[in-house]
Structure 1
Amino acid sequence: MPAPLAVFRALADPTRLRIVALLRQMELSVGELAQVLGQSQPRVSRHVKILADADLCDRRREGSWIFLGLGSAAREGPLLAAIDGWEDIAAERWEIADAARLAAVRADRVSAAEAYFNQHAAEWDAIRSLHVAEAQVEGAILDLLGDDPLGRLVDIGTGTGRMIELLLDRATSAVGIDRSPEMLRLARAKVAKDGQPRAELRQGDMYALPVADGGADTVVIHQVLHYAQAPAAAIMEAGRTLGEDGRLLIIDFAAHDHDVLRERDAHVRLGFDDHQIEGWFTAAGLHMDATRELRGGELTVKLWLGQRRPESRLLKAVA
């Protein structure tokens, strides 16, 4: 944590205060910040560096883009409370103008997402036609997770961010992780559309997640595992992130013989059976808590829920 003097020096500039206010509402790229602030990207980058050095913002590279979110110092409640409690008529005028331009950024993201889905609608529809409706799958997800709070949610292979959209109300925070910068931009359009300050989106690999050991309470892998070259390693890595009593929910296809999906849609695995998933859960220190099968169409959708075994933590500590 930086010294208080460094934090307040970093905030002693109207533009940097505006940047913190904007990042409280949603993650933004440097280019989007420049658009909202009406300043050049080099100038905004200099302000961002000062904020980052004071741990007031985080920078993450995704392809050729750099996305920004609040740093740990800016997440400290007393600091934000002090900013909120300071009445400044001039600052309020900036906030109104910034809010209007931020709405335009959100609209641009939504427009880009809609264009992408319109372009690729036939591909998604071809797969969806083979199995039960997504609404039925999502209903099963909610039912299997039950009414208990989800705590810290991690969505691996978040894609368009639909799982975060579905589950965020029951989580204290959510992190969506995906390798594809393009998919993350689509997810941001969905997650930021209504303003979701408790949700983060990060570029990362399912085999090396940007999540600390025990940093998650609920992990979801939704229709991703069939793309994995090493599904056992992906489940092991997901298990690493789970805290005490943490749960891992996998939603994917039951084993099938539709080989066309390998060629047409780059599926590496043609579904999974219970024995495979249970073995991988056991290796990751999880026990199979529940399963659900949704038949309909040519493909069967399966849900597997694993839970951290308390003794696995003890064994790891002894080792």
Structure 2
Amino acid sequence: MPLIDIFRALADPSRLRIVQLLREMELSVGEIAQVLGQSQPRVSRHIKVLVDAGLALRRREGSSIFLTPAPSAFAVPLFNLLDAAAGHDGDHWTRADLVRLAAVRAERAAAAERWFAAHAVEWDAIRSLHVPEAEVEAAMAEMLGGVLGRLVDIGTGTGRILELLGPAASQAIGIDRSPEMLRIARVKLDGQPYELRQGDINALQLAEGSADTITLHQVLHFLPAPASAIGECARLLGEGGQLLIVDFAPHEREELRLDHAHARLGFSDQQVAGWLGAAGLQLAETRSLKGRELTIKLWRATRRAAVKVKAA
């Protein structure tokens, strides 16, 4: 890509702001327009310039288009240059954009929470509409093996995964953002030695390296920034630990976004492997479970133990 095209694309203030926003999180065209306070057609023209210059990637999901920074050799030094030019706190445009971006994040989270609050009681039944839950649970138990150590189930919902895997763990913690879900889980798990906490997957109040096994069962598609969540899971995993993600393969069922607050319509192996690799984890095993309409994917990743060098 000619260097002149890159700098010409960044010469427009709006396009520079878009690049900075995409470094924070993947965004739809409509969300970028909302943050910038510009029309979608105008934002689309800016995006085309950035894509043509190799600075952004477009990804279609159902009827929505999502944007991410393009992976390239010049990206890191370019972003370092932008940060140095903006200074420690950024310019006034950056600060204002981040405030509006926080509102976008909050609205995404609120939409998911509204759905959870309305469907907490029937959550287990909704999940069973895809692949029979018993089949998914059997695959999870088989992939994880018999000894789980310190288990953390993130997005625990009604506590079913703790109920399933907890007996094989030395310690088990379930974390969910929804108080309605946790209320049901506490009733279901009454008398069981499992800990339930309310928490945000992007900032878990657990120590680094405090988990041996982490599960994300039908959680990732609700999240606005899956890569960030996987990074937080990697932070929690100790040496030799494992992360199991269970979610949908890519699909075009737009009603799941509209009616059930799904932020993402499934994930490809390439997407998940990329996020795992960026977080310092290695994809060890994948499985596919074909349902009537949707395919469930299971991805198991590990953190390698550090190699110890003997002293001479």
1:196 aligns with 2:195: no
Going from structure 1 to structure 2, the CA distance change for 1:201 and 1:127 (only over 3 Å counts) comes to: closer
Going from structure 1 to structure 2, the CA distance change for 1:245 and 1:236 (only over 3 Å counts) comes to: same
Instruction: Tell me how far apart the structure 2 counterparts of residues 117 and 134 of structure 1 sit (CA, whole Å).
Output: 21
Going from structure 1 to structure 2, the CA distance change for 1:152 and 1:166 (only over 3 Å counts) comes to: same
Q: TM-score under structure 1 normalisation?
A: 0.57
Which structure 1 segments of 5+ residues have no match? 1-115, 315-319
Query: What SS does the corresponding residue of 2:212 show, helix, strand or coil?
Result: strand
Aligned twin of 1:284: 279
Aligned twin of 2:151: 153
Going from structure 1 to structure 2, the CA distance change for 1:288 and 1:213 (only over 3 Å counts) comes to: same
> Could you tell me how far 1:117 is from its partner in structure 2?
10
1:133 aligns with 2:107: no
Superposed, which structure 2 residues align to 1:144-293 within 5 Å? 144-147=143-146, 149-192=147-190, 195-197=191-193, 199-293=194-288
Instruction: Tell me how far apart the structure 2 counterparts of residues 210 and 119 of structure 1 sit (CA, whole Å).
Output: 24
Instruction: Tell me how far apart the structure 1 counterparts of residues 252 and 119 of structure 2 sit (CA, whole Å).
Output: 29
Q: Alignment RMSD, CA only?
A: 2.1
Instruction: Tell me how far apart the structure 2 counterparts of residues 216 and 239 of structure 1 sit (CA, whole Å).
Output: 9
Superposed, which structure 2 residues align to 1:37-186 within 5 Å? 121=122, 125=125, 128-129=128-129, 131-147=130-146, 149-186=147-184
Instruction: Tell me how far apart the structure 1 counterparts of residues 260 and 119 of structure 2 sit (CA, whole Å).
Output: 17
Q: Which amino acid aligns with 2:192?
A: Q
Aligned twin of 1:80: none
> Could you tell me how far 1:128 is from its partner in structure 2?
3.1
Going from structure 1 to structure 2, the CA distance change for 1:289 and 1:220 (only over 3 Å counts) comes to: same
Instruction: Tell me how far apart the structure 2 counterparts of residues 118 and 182 of structure 1 sit (CA, whole Å).
Output: 9
Instruction: Tell me how far apart the structure 2 counterparts of residues 119 and 239 of structure 1 sit (CA, whole Å).
Output: 28
Instruction: Tell me how far apart the structure 1 counterparts of residues 197 and 208 of structure 2 sit (CA, whole Å).
Output: 17
Deviations 1:107-156 (A, max 9, x none): xxxxxxxxx999954x7645533x21000000110111122x10000000
Instruction: Tell me how far apart the structure 2 counterparts of residues 260 and 127 of structure 1 sit (CA, whole Å).
Output: 15
Q: Which amino acid aligns with 2:128?
A: R
> Could you tell me how far 1:191 is from its partner in structure 2?
1.2
Instruction: Tell me how far apart the structure 2 counterparts of residues 211 and 126 of structure 1 sit (CA, whole Å).
Output: 30
Aligned twin of 2:104: none
Q: Which amino acid aligns with 2:236?
A: T
Superposed, which structure 2 residues align to 1:27-38 within 5 Å? none
Runs of 4+ in 1 over 4 A off after TM superposition: 116-120, 123-127
Q: Is the 8 A contact 2:124 2:158 kept in 1?
A: no
Q: Which amino acid aligns with 2:134?
A: A
Q: Which amino acid aligns with 2:277?
A: T
Q: Which amino acid aligns with 2:157?
A: G
Identity %: 56
Instruction: Tell me how far apart the structure 2 counterparts of residues 218 and 126 of structure 1 sit (CA, whole Å).
Output: 26
**May I ask how many residue pairs the two structures share in their alignment?**
192
Instruction: Tell me how far apart the structure 1 counterparts of residues 189 and 183 of structure 2 sit (CA, whole Å).
Output: 10
Query: What SS does the corresponding residue of 1:167 show, helix, strand or coil?
Result: helix
Instruction: Tell me how far apart the structure 2 counterparts of residues 141 and 169 of structure 1 sit (CA, whole Å).
Output: 14
Instruction: Tell me how far apart the structure 1 counterparts of residues 119 and 251 of structure 2 sit (CA, whole Å).
Output: 29
Instruction: Tell me how far apart the structure 2 counterparts of residues 211 and 127 of structure 1 sit (CA, whole Å).
Output: 28
> Could you tell me how far 1:181 is from its partner in structure 2?
1.1
Instruction: Tell me how far apart the structure 2 counterparts of residues 219 and 268 of structure 1 sit (CA, whole Å).
Output: 22
Q: Is the 8 A contact 2:120 2:181 kept in 1?
A: no
Q: Is the 8 A contact 2:148 2:169 kept in 1?
A: yes
Instruction: Tell me how far apart the structure 2 counterparts of residues 214 and 281 of structure 1 sit (CA, whole Å).
Output: 16
Query: What SS does the corresponding residue of 1:310 show, helix, strand or coil?
Result: coil
Which structure 2 segments of 5+ residues have no match? 1-116
> Could you tell me how far 1:302 is from its partner in structure 2?
0.4
Query: What SS does the corresponding residue of 2:215 show, helix, strand or coil?
Result: strand
